[in-house]
Amino acid sequence: MGERKHVNEGEIMKARDVDLLSYLEAKGETFVKEGKYYRHTEHDSLLIKGNMYAWNSRNETGYGAISFARMYYGMSFPQAVLDISKGNYKELSQSHEQPSVSPSKEPFRYPKELEVKDQSKVKDYLIQERKIDPRLVNWLLQKDLIAQDKRNNVVFKWREHGGKGKVIGADRQGTASIKNKRGSFKQVLPNDNPHTGFSVDVGRPNKIHFFESPIDLLSYWSIQENSLQNTRLISMNGLKPKTVAQSYIEARREGLNIQEMVLAVDNDQGGKEFIDKMNQIVNADLIKVDIPKGTKDWNDELKKNGKATQPVASRLRNKQTEQELSMNG
């Protein structure tokens, strides 16, 4: 089969007139309406008006879905035309009157063609800049859980069954910082499994640890390396009660006897509200909390304190933490 390299004029014309917002919403992007504009909920300097877009923090402006797909998703011209053509999107003129299209139920296809053999940028970023344990990084590359793409992003592959199954989603994290307040490029690839995320099993899980991002997950693992056992680590890409519920159900379906759900979220307002909310929704006996003590998130904690040097020290520290928690609780 291979990928079609050529597209005909008819396909190009049709794709060019597709309503940009309908296309993006079907890809899983979300926007809020502000007057005549639509603002992207994650990248707040990305605006759409009619079929024009402007991403102010990156000085990107343009017209139409083809141009946008090339800029944002890194597609080639034929890829963009074909991707836009395969959905049955409205044309610009008749859109925005009806409610927006519902997300397509296309099965997720991992864009393997964006991957490169080179792993140096990913290794530099994770090991040098984020201080993740090099052995972890090498193991993840070897297990095909992370990869480097053409734009030097780290791709975190969401594999089923704690990292052992097929790829059902992915998110990307830029390795170069962008001069805006977000620091670097982040993107969840549109997929039909929104309540999953990057996940890895350590041993045979009888508990699940939840994190706000793959970087937090890897930071925590680097700190706890020797004492972390028999758990499934999951990134929620934010704070998502549905991801917690779904992960629990799936683990039980796999025959895992889950005794604890550890919320290892950020030590900030959002994290604390999430913990309160989860305690109300989920059986409180299942919920455990492990948030960084003196810093905002697990990566700051790792950079500040490094990892536990020997298993004994970290085991003692965990015992102590458990006692502190039970005394306060």
Q: From CA 49, how far away is CA 183, in angstroms rounded?
A: 26
Give the tens place of pLDDT for each residue, 96-154. Answer: 433 333 344 567 888 888 899 999 999 999 999 999 999 999 999 999 999 999 888 99
pLDDT at res. 4: 67
pLDDT of 51 > 80? The answer is yes
Q: Do 121 and 54 belong together in one domain?
A: no
- Which of these three, 61, 94, 127, is where a domain ends? 94
Q: Do 86 and 141 belong together in one domain?
A: no
Q: From CA 19, how far away is CA 17, in angstroms rounded?
A: 6
The CATH number of the domain where 151 resides is what? 3.40.1360.10
Q: From CA 108, how far away is CA 170, in angstroms rounded?
A: 10
The CATH number of the domain where 45 resides is what? 3.90.580.10
Give the tens place of pLDDT for each residue, 195-231. Answer: 899 999 999 999 999 999 999 999 999 998 878 999 9
Q: Do 188 and 142 belong together in one domain?
A: yes
Which domain covers residue 72, as residue numbers?
A: 9-94
Q: How confident is the model at residue 95 (pLDDT cuts 50, 70, 90)?
A: very low
Q: Do 76 and 15 belong together in one domain?
A: yes
pLDDT of 319 > 70? The answer is no
Q: Do 252 and 309 belong together in one domain?
A: yes
pLDDT at res. 33: 82
Q: Do 14 and 146 belong together in one domain?
A: no
Number of domains making up the chain: 2
pTM value?
A: 0.63
- Which of these three, 25, 59, 94, is where a domain ends? 94
Q: From CA 303, how far away is CA 130, in angstroms rounded?
A: 7
DSSP 82-126: HHHHHS-PPBGGGTTSSPPPPPP-PPP---GGGEES--HHHHIII
Stretch (H or E) spanning 252? helix 241-253
Q: Do 69 and 33 belong together in one domain?
A: yes
